[in-house]
Every structure is written in structure tokens, then in C-alpha cells.
A and B are shown apart, each in its own frame.
Chain A
């Protein structure tokens, strides 16, 4: 059923376990707030009539302060609400750590469209198709201003920043068609930067993939670009420029010239491609040119996917390659 078929919506569909628990959280919190406020509202209304000027009522009072009472109504509601802070923080923690088997979708936001790319290289504009029951992690970056990817049915959103990767993940348990929006104001057509998220049975998804354009995977496309942009000239084994090997780099700490290490993640790789002069690596002379303005954002995604894939392939020799790249300080 299409989302626009509902004439009047009062509660959004919940398409994942996590979305359902957000609903539980807000409903329980609402119950608590009603418990805290309805008595005040009733009391104020009642007092307003009962103690109106001229009515017969007991107006004796001596107390104009009462520290114990004050402490009570400071502390009790605070402690009660803290319970919801903990609940919310726990869920937030889960939302920040995607399961290891999550399928990775890369998303690029730009004024005013979303471009989603599947691991197999298939891409789509504004709409996104995903299989049901499979954790999906969306890695995002923006080409221009700040956007935010928002999927109400999953009760989740994340800002999409220029120059830095961010991600969100969800695991839908209900096939259907849901809306996705850009929720951070991004200019003229901000409100048109939306689309549909289709959650499908895995078989249907596989079929959809096979009909959806390119069959070159992201990593494979990245491998081709690795030569096109001349990266392999230095970084391939046997090149005569002494550059660190990239095999097994991904996900490992890289020692810095200034001391300390940095984890080689998506943002790190992207940074080093665009701005090799920053954060110099220990043991190497910096000779790499900057590729800023040379490599477009979607090609960067492919390159990073490729470097990532060779990081995972050679996981067994990852330690070797990593240390070879860092401790190998002998000049050839």
C-alpha cells in the first residue's frame, strides 16, 4: 500500500523492531507526563473556582515555604524522568552500532536529490529498495550543504555532512513502501528532496537488483578507477615510488608522524585522497598530490569501497601489510 493512500494519518507505521520500541518509549513517557501534569492542571482549575474571591473556603495558611516539599517535587519527578533518559540512551547506543553483517548502501546527498548505491553497484535516485530482515547500514556524505536522511517508519534520521561520512542503520521487519525525507533545511527545493523506501522480500530484492542497471560492484568499479586516476602507479606492489601498500589498511590503526595513531576508516581514506598533506604518516615522505576537485564524490565512494575490499580480502596478511607499510622505514 502506498503511503499516500492513507487519507488521514495519525500514527506513523512502524517498520522495524527498533521503531516499535521508540513508540513504546514515547507512549510510556507520555503516560508519566500525564501523571505529573494532569494533577497540576486539575488543581489549578479547581483552585481557580474554589478559592475565587468571595467564596466561602478555608484560606488559613501559615506556610509560605516548605523545603521538604520543594525537595520532593524537585527530586521525585527528576528521578522518574531519568528512567526514560536511560531507556533512550540505551536505544541510541544500539542505533550507533550497526551489526557486523549489515549490508552497506552508500548514499550521496546533493541539492536536491539522494543517490543511493547498492553493494553490487546498482544505483537509484531518491528511492531506495532494500531486503526485509537484513540489517542495512547507509553510509552517507553530502556534495554540498548539510542534508539529513530521515526515514520516519524506522524512527531514525542522520545528518549528511559535506566532507565527512556519517551513517545510520535499520533492520526492517515489515515489507512495504515507506517515505524518506531530507530533514535538514538545504535550500530552494528542500521539500522535494524526498523519496520512497521499498522494503521487499529478499527474493524480490534479488530480482530487482538484477533488473536495475549496472552489474559492476562498487569495489570493482573502484578498482578500475584506481588505475584511471593513477593511484596504482605508486600504491601497487612493485612500483618504484615508495608509497604504503593499501592492502589490509582498512580498519587498522595508522601511526602518525606527529605521534599517535588514527583508525583507517572511510572518512580517513577520503581525507587522505583529498588532502594528503594533512596528518602525515610516520615513516613516509609525503609526495602524493591532492586529488581535491579531481575526483568526484561518487568516484570517491567507489575508490574507498575498493580500498576497503582489499583491506578485507587480505585480512590474514593485514597485520603484515599494515606493519610493513608503517615500520618498513628502509628506503628502497
Chain B
């Protein structure tokens, strides 16, 4: 350990209790100090509160959907109500929870800490992004709750432009506005990572978490404008009949599918990549071992972000797209599996000969690996042309992407939240409750979604309000699982909030993890570090245990 190295750590850990500067949470406590803060850590907490709210609303809609599907004849809700419910679930979960979830909360909080910066490059822009996000999302939320929209989160033309009688335009406008918030967040991250790294923090000393957020920001920047213009054309088409997607005028509804999936497939990686970053931090910390194949994982993140722009057509194997196009998109989709597989194998190799602690974050990480693998491989099934011809738009697809999104994003988000909770709040949560919650979520999730693979292969199409009676038992099983899942979600919401007041005080580094964010106090002071850190150590600086006999 070099002298410079020790100075940072001393600065952080050897804080005397008296005379310690106020941390970012307690520096000021007026309402205005929160709503007009430009501290990335406080903005992260603003986001955390907002997306948790959206998650609860989306989950509530999901609960009602599962309730409706207990009976095959659709008697619990009317068809229109059911359609509005799954639209609320999709719109809220995808646009307002999944896409912003990890980047805007954990990413916002940790990127400056991890690279040794005082803040993001554009703190005011960061706050503006939050206001834009809240403006757009609350507007759309109001629309879908009060007026109701029945197009699904995919807004396919010409249904959304001509045939739906619901409040499509306001919902679209809200989603477009939220898109700008994503762009600004991505822009802020890219500039910060490029220009704000502490002395000595070279690219290959950055934690994988930062790498994956860099990759995600690139997707935000390159894909979001395309969905913005596609949705704007949809608005113009519905409002003025400009006809780009209208076959009656010589336009083409399939063009919308192309523009939509050109964004929305990369959006899947917006949801998944940050999760991979979180897992790449948790696994080494709880194995007390260096991350295996650091560079391969870093490269895999970037190659995922680039490959994902070339596979959108695999959502359109059955819409009359040319055979050659379908075949190319199919093989490219197989190629996307490679960087994903790299990560899974590397995490496993990291655990090998480690010194494991199965605390709550690690339980979430292991659950993540399991579910992500199942989700990824069923993704390969879907990329296989003739299988997709059968299970396209069935519950098989629904199960697949829930394994990726809930298994991937939500578990990683919860794992990361537990892992960095002491850093964010300065408090420890109750470990026993945490483990029970993690296990319940894992169990409930599998009971809910595994039967849906079978339902899909049997041929139950998605977005069905009523269904043939022979599908009922599997649907009941799935609904039963969702109640376990719901109970599981209540656990962290209760004990994490409880810990804010009654939790044990956390030390600067309760997990004995490596990384700059653990070298400052918990919670950190307003400008993160008391002195600018200088980095002269490699990432994941866990001790290498060489053979003692040598």
C-alpha cells in the first residue's frame, strides 16, 4: 500500500466522532434543501422515492391482472378495464420504473463516488432531469389512471393512431418527455465518466458498475432520440393524420414496429446492464476475492451495448419481414448471448475459492444469476426462428422477459439497494428480515412466472382477458405465486424504512468491500471526499491468496 493510498483511507475511516463535518443527509433539512438540491446523492434519493412509488403502482396493477386471470371467462373485470390495467402495468413498469431504476438511483449516487469526483459534471442538469422525469411521468400516470389507455406499452399503429378511443396522445406526450430526462441523465454520466475521474483513476481501474453505466448511457443517447421521433410521429398521426404509419395513405404500420423496437430492444439492455454492474460489485465483495476476468466483463458490457442495436428485428419474425432479414436478426441475436454468458461464467469463477458470506445482497446476487440465466436462454429459444413462430406473443414471451426484467433488474436493484444502503443512509437494516425477504421474492417469482413458460408453449396468447378453460390451473398457480411475490416485496419496504430511524449505525465500510465509495464516511459528506482521492490501486483490490507452500 502506498502512502497516498493510506491517506485517503485515513481521511475516511479515522474520522473522530466529534468535529466530524455534517454528512449530506444532515447538512440542511428544509424541504427546499431537498427539492432544489444539486447534490447527486440527494437527487438519487429523490429518484429512489419516485421510482419506488411507480413500482408500487405498477405492481398493484399486476396484482389486479393476476386476480383477473384466476377465472377463464374474464368476469372479474370488463375487457376494457383489463386492457387498461395491463397498459398501466406496462407503461409504468417499463417507462417509469425499469428504465430509470438503477441508473438514476444507484448510478446517480455512486458514479461520482466510485470515480472520486465531487459531483456529476452538470449538477443542475441532473436536478432538471428529475423534474422532467416527474413532470412527464406524473402527466402520463394521471392520463392512464383517470382517462385510461388501452394500447399496451408498445403503442402499435394503426391501433394507437386510429382505432383506440382512449387518451393515447397525452400518454405519449408524457413518455416523450420522460425520454428527454433519460437523454440528459445519459449525457451527464458520459461527460462525468470522461472528464471527472480522480487522478490515477484510469479507464481500467473503474469498477464494472461504472463501465456498465457508461454502456447504458451510450444506449440512452443513441436510442432514445429514435423513440422520441417515432412517438412524436405517432402523436402527429393521431392528431393530424399525417399518415406515415397509415396504410390507407401509403404509409406503413410496420415502419412503426421498426422504429419502436430500434429503441425498445436496446431499452432491454438499459434495464439489464446496470444490474450486471451491481452484481459485479456484490459478488467480489461477498466472496472477498478479485473479480475474475475484469477486462472481459468490461469489454462484454460495451459489446452488449453495441450489438443490441442490431437485433431489433427479432421482435418481427412473424410480421412479413423478409426471410433474409429474419435470418440475419436471428443469428445476431444468438451472438448477443455471448457477452451475457461471459459475465455469468466470470461471476461463477469469482465465487470459486472465495470466502463467502451469504448476506442479503449476496442472496439477491445469486438469485439474479439463476433467473438471468433462465431468462437469457429462453431468449435464445425465442431467437430461434421456428420456435418464435410458435411462441411469439404468447405467455412464453411474457415469462421470458419477466425473468430478464424482474429476475435481472428488480433483483439487482434490490441487491444493490441493500449493499449500498449503509452508505446511502448510514444505517444497517435487519439482516434476518432481509434474508427472509430475498428468499420469499425468489420463491414467489419462480412460482409466478415458471408456469407461464408452459402456458405460452400451450399457446395462450398474451394480453388475453379471457382464455380457454384448459389453461386455468396453470393460471391459478401463477396467481398464487404472485401473492408470495407481493408479500416478499413488502419485506424490504418495511424493514428498510424502519432502519432509517432504528437501524444500527453503519461504519464506513461494513462489508469490508473495496472501491472508493467505501473509503469515505457513511453517509458521505456533501462533496463526497474530504480531500481529492488519488488512485494507485487496481479495481477489486481484494487480497490474492497465494499458495502458502511456495
Contact = CB atoms under 8 A, between A and B. Distances in A.
A150 B295 CA distance: 45
Contacts of A245: none
Nearest to B467: A191
Contact of A92 (B163, B380, B385): B385
Interface string B370-397: 1001100100110111111110111000
Nearest to B87: A185
Interface string A182-224: 1111111111101000000000000000000000000000000
Interface stretch (A75-83, A100-108, A129-137, A308-316): A75-83
Contact of A74 (B164, B252, B338, B454): B338
Contacts of A234: none
A192 B461 CA distance: 11
Interface stretch (B49-57, B152-160, B172-180, B438-446): B152-160
B292 A8 contact: no
Contacts of A179: 459, 468
A4 B338 contact: no
A163 interface: yes
A229 interface: no
A159 B381 CA distance: 20
Nearest to B247: A163
A148 B318 contact: yes
Interface stretch (A63-71, A117-125, A256-264, A319-327): A63-71
A37 interface: yes
B508 to A, nearest CB: 21
Interface stretch (B181-189, B354-362, B409-417): B354-362
Interface in A156-175: 156-159, 161-164, 166
Contacts of B370: 41, 44
B470 A3 contact: yes
A22 B392 CA distance: 13
Nearest to A92: B385
B326 interface: yes
A88 B390 contact: no
Interface stretch (A9-17, A236-244, A280-288): A9-17
B159 A146 contact: yes
Interface of A is mostly: mixed
B293 A81 contact: no
A12 B388 CA distance: 15
A60 B353 contact: yes
A190 B465 contact: yes
Q: Which of B159, B326, B338, B386 has the most CB of A within 10 A?
A: B386
Contacts of A152: 390, 458-459
B342 interface: yes
Most chain A beta-carbon neighbours within 10 Å: one of B389, B458, B470:
B389
Given A40-B373, A152-B390, A192-B466, A64 B341 contact: no
Contacts of B317: 92
Given A95-B386, A157-B393, A275-B250, A6 B341 contact: no
A9 B320 contact: no
Contacts of A47: 348, 351-352, 354, 356
Contacts of A146: 156, 158-159, 253, 319
A157 B385 contact: no
A155 interface: yes
A30 B548 CA distance: 44
Given A163-B247, A187-B164, A85 B331 contact: yes
Interface string B67-85: 0000000100001100100
Interface string B234-259: 00000000000001101011100000
B159 A191 contact: no
Given A59-B354, A182-B461, A188 B330 contact: no
Given A57-B353, A64-B291, A189-B79, 10 more contacts: A29-B387, A73-B341, A92-B330, A93-B323, A146-B158, A148-B318, A181-B461, A188-B150, A190-B79, A194-B468
The 6 closest A-B pairs by CB, nearest first: A152-B459, A163-B247, A92-B385, A88-B384, A91-B386, A155-B390
Interface of B: 74, 79-80, 83, 150, 152, 154, 156, 158-159, 162-164, 247-248, 250, 252-254, 287-296, 317-320, 323, 326-327, 330-331, 334-335, 337-338, 341-342, 344-346, 348-349, 351-358, 366, 369-370, 373-374, 377, 380-381, 383-390, 392-394, 454, 457-459, 461-471, 473-474, 544-548
12 contacts: A3-B470, A11-B457, A41-B373, A77-B341, A85-B384, A146-B158, A146-B159, A161-B247, A166-B320, A179-B459, A190-B83, A278-B250
